[in-house]
C-alpha cells in the first residue's frame, strides 16, 4: 500500500460483494415444491450440442474423485453466508471426457428449474455437483440428493436437485434469467437484473 493511502481501516473481515449482508442461518429459497428423488433412479446427464449424452448414476458419481470446498455464497436477495462447507465432484472431472465446442451451459433440475451460465464458468475448479453439506448428506430443501454449486455467481445459478447440464452453441436463458434477472450474475459487479 502506498504511503498516505486513505483506505478503509484494515479489518479481519474480508469485504462482501456490494449490497450484501451476512447471515448466520441458511435460508431456503425454492421457486416450487421440493422434489424427492430416490438415489436408485437418480441420474446426472451432460448432453452436448451434437446430441451426445454422458450419464452418471448415484453410485458412479460417488466412485469419482471427491473434493471439498469451503466457499462464501451470495443470494441476489442480498444475504451472503460465509465459509459454507461442501463435498462433491468437480465439473472439471465430469467434463473431462466430454468433447464439445459449445460455449454455453444450461443446468436443469428435477422439478423443472433451469439456469444458464457460460461453460467456462463450470471449469477451472469453480463448480461442483455437491451432495454433502456441513459434514452430512445435502438436505432435500437445500437441493439434495445433489445440486450444482457455482459460488462465484449469485446463488440462483447453483441449481438445486440438478439433473443435468445441456451444452449448447447459443445461450439459453433459464427460469430467473427469463424473468428479468441478469444473464451472468456476478455478485462483485452487482449484476442482479438485466441491464445491471
Ligand atoms: N431447482 C432449484 N434450484 C434453485 C432454486 C430453485 O428455486 N429451484 N433457487 C435458487 C436460488 S434463488 C437460491 S438463492 C438458491 C437457494 O439455495 P438454498 O435454498 O439452499 O439456500 O438456490 C437456487 N437454486
Ligand atoms: Mo436467490
Q: Would residue 108 count as lying in a domain?
A: yes
Q: Would residue 13 count as lying in a domain?
A: no
Confidence of residue 7 (pLDDT cuts 50, 70, 90): low
Gyration radius of the chain's alpha carbons: 17
The 10s digit of each residue's pLDDT in 85-131 is 999 999 999 999 999 999 999 999 999 999 999 999 999 999 999 99
Does residue 56's CB lie within 6 angstroms of at least one atom of ligand 1? Answer: no
Q: Is 48 helix (H, G, I), strand (E, B) or coil?
A: coil
CATH of the domain at 84: 3.90.420.10
> Position of cell 466430454?
98
- pTM (2 d.p.): 0.95
Residue 63 Cα to ligand 1 middle (Å)? 26
Question: Can you name the residues that pair with 193 across neighbouring β-strands?
Answer: 181
Let me know if 70 is exposed, middle or buried by CB neighbors in 10 A (0-12, 13-18, 19+).
exposed
Confidence of residue 1 (pLDDT cuts 50, 70, 90): very low
Confidence of residue 6 (pLDDT cuts 50, 70, 90): low
CA distance 130 to 88: 4
Q: Would residue 185 count as lying in a domain?
A: yes
Q: Would residue 21 count as lying in a domain?
A: no
Residue nearest to atom 23 of ligand 1 (CA): 156
Domain that holds residue 111: 59-189
Does residue 64's CB lie within 6 angstroms of at least one atom of ligand 1? Answer: no
Neighbouring residues of 17: CB distance < 8 A, sequence distance ≥ 6:
74, 80, 187, 188, 190
Domain count across the chain:
1
Does residue 111's CB lie within 6 angstroms of at least one atom of ligand 1? Answer: yes
Is the pLDDT assigned to residue 4 strictly greater than 90?
Answer: no
Cell of 123: 471449469
Q: What are phi and psi of 21, to 5 degrees?
A: -125, 160
Neighbouring residues of 156: CB distance < 8 A, sequence distance ≥ 6:
29, 75, 76, 115, 176, 181, 185
Q: Would residue 152 count as lying in a domain?
A: yes
Q: Would residue 121 count as lying in a domain?
A: yes
Residue 3 Cα to ligand 1 middle (Å)? 45
Q: Is 92 helix (H, G, I), strand (E, B) or coil?
A: helix
Q: Would residue 11 count as lying in a domain?
A: no
Residue nearest to atom 11 of ligand 1 (CA): 156
Amino acid at each position: 500500500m502506498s504511503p498516505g493511502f486513505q483506505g478503509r481501516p484494515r479489518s479481519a473481515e474480508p469485504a462482501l460483494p456490494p449490497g450484501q449482508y451476512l447471515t448466520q442461518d441458511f435460508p431456503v429459497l425454492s421457486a416450487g415444491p421440493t422434489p424427492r428423488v430416490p438415489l436408485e433412479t437418480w441420474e446426472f446427464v451432460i448432453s452436448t450440442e451434437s446430441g451426445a449424452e454422458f450419464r452418471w448414476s448415484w453410485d458412479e458419481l460417488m466412485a469419482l474423485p471427491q473434493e471439498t470446498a469451503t466457499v462464501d455464497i451470495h443470494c441476489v436477495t442480498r444475504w451472503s453466508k460465509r465459509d459454507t462447507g461442501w463435498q462433491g465432484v468437480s465439473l472439471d472431472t465430469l467434463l473431462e471426457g466430454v468433447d464439445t465446442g459449445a460455449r454455453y451451459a444450461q443446468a436443469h433440475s428435477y422439478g423443472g428449474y433451469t439456469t444458464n451460465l457460460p461453460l467456462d464458468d463450470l471449469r477451472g475448479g469453480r463448480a461442483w455437483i455437491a451432495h454433502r453439506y456441513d459434514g452430512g448428506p445435502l438436505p432435500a430443501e437445500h437441493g439434495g440428493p445433489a445440486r450444482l454449486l457455482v459460488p462465484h455467481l449469485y446463488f440462483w445459478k447453483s441449481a438445486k436437485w440438478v439433473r443435468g447440464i445441456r451444452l449448447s452453441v447459443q445461450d439459453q436463458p433459464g427460469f430467473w434469467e427469463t424473468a428479468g434477472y441478469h444473464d451472468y450474475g456476478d455478485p462483485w459487479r452487482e449484476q442482479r437484473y438485466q441491464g445491471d
